[in-house]
Protein backbone atom coordinates (compact mmCIF):
# COMPACT_ATOMS: atom_id res chain seq x y z
CA UNK A 1 0.00 0.00 0.00
CA UNK A 2 1.19 3.56 -0.62
CA UNK A 3 2.39 5.64 2.30
CA UNK A 4 -0.31 7.72 3.98
CA UNK A 5 -0.34 11.44 4.80
CA UNK A 6 1.23 12.59 1.56
CA UNK A 7 -0.28 16.04 2.00
CA UNK A 8 1.42 16.65 5.34
CA UNK A 9 2.68 20.21 5.79
CA UNK A 10 5.65 19.10 7.89
CA UNK A 11 8.66 19.09 5.48
CA UNK A 12 10.59 16.68 7.68
CA UNK A 13 7.74 14.19 7.58
CA UNK A 14 7.50 14.59 3.79
CA UNK A 15 11.24 13.99 3.36
CA UNK A 16 10.96 10.75 5.28
CA UNK A 17 8.05 9.64 3.12
CA UNK A 18 9.69 10.30 -0.25
CA UNK A 19 11.96 7.21 -0.10
CA UNK A 20 8.96 5.12 0.95
CA UNK A 21 6.98 6.43 -2.02
CA UNK A 22 9.96 5.81 -4.29
CA UNK A 23 10.33 2.24 -3.06
CA UNK A 24 6.60 1.61 -3.41
CA UNK A 25 6.52 2.94 -6.99
CA UNK A 26 9.66 0.99 -7.91
CA UNK A 27 8.19 -2.20 -6.47
CA UNK A 28 4.91 -1.59 -8.29
CA UNK A 29 6.71 -1.04 -11.59
CA UNK A 30 8.78 -4.19 -11.14
CA UNK A 31 5.70 -6.28 -10.40
CA UNK A 32 3.89 -4.77 -13.40
CA UNK A 33 6.89 -5.43 -15.64
CA UNK A 34 7.08 -9.03 -14.39
CA UNK A 35 3.37 -9.61 -15.10
CA UNK A 36 3.62 -8.11 -18.59
CA UNK A 37 6.68 -10.26 -19.22
CA UNK A 38 4.74 -13.35 -18.21
CA UNK A 39 1.77 -12.36 -20.36
CA UNK A 40 4.01 -11.64 -23.34
CA UNK A 41 5.89 -14.92 -22.92
CA UNK A 42 2.65 -16.90 -22.64
CA UNK A 43 1.17 -15.17 -25.69
CA UNK A 44 4.31 -15.78 -27.73
CA UNK A 45 4.37 -19.43 -26.68
CA UNK A 46 0.69 -19.90 -27.57
CA UNK A 47 1.19 -18.19 -30.92
CA UNK A 48 4.17 -20.41 -31.71
CA UNK A 49 2.28 -23.57 -30.70
CA UNK A 50 -0.73 -22.54 -32.77
CA UNK A 51 1.53 -21.89 -35.77
CA UNK A 52 3.21 -25.30 -35.36
CA UNK A 53 -0.19 -27.00 -35.05
CA UNK A 54 -1.47 -25.28 -38.19
CA UNK A 55 1.67 -26.20 -40.13
CA UNK A 56 1.30 -29.86 -39.14
CA UNK A 57 -2.38 -29.78 -40.03
CA UNK A 58 -1.62 -28.28 -43.45
CA UNK A 59 1.09 -30.88 -44.11
CA UNK A 60 -1.25 -33.69 -43.13
CA UNK A 61 -3.99 -32.27 -45.33
CA UNK A 62 -1.64 -31.89 -48.31
CA UNK A 63 -0.26 -35.40 -47.82
CA UNK A 64 -3.72 -37.02 -47.72
CA UNK A 65 -5.21 -34.96 -50.50
CA UNK A 66 -4.99 -36.28 -54.00
CA UNK A 67 -4.74 -33.57 -56.57
CA UNK A 68 -6.64 -34.12 -59.80
CA UNK A 69 -4.41 -35.04 -62.66
CA UNK A 70 -3.96 -32.35 -65.25
CA UNK A 71 -4.41 -33.30 -68.86
CA UNK A 72 -4.16 -30.35 -71.26
CA UNK A 73 -5.94 -32.25 -74.07
CA UNK A 74 -9.10 -32.76 -72.01
CA UNK A 75 -11.68 -30.01 -71.91
34 domain-assigned = yes
18 domain-assigned = no
71 domain-assigned = no
10 domain-assigned = no
21 domain-assigned = no
Query: What's the domain range around 35?
Result: 26-63
- Number of structural domains (the chain) is 1
Closest CA to 20 of 7, 36, 3: 3
- Tell me the pTM: 0.39
70 domain-assigned = no
Residues in the chain: 75
3 domain-assigned = no
- Summarize pLDDT for 3-54 with one digit per residue, the tens: 555 545 555 555 556 667 777 778 888 888 888 888 888 888 888 888 888 8
74 domain-assigned = no
Amino acid sequence: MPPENLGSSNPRNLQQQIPEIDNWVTALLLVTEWHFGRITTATTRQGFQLRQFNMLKMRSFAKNRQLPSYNPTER
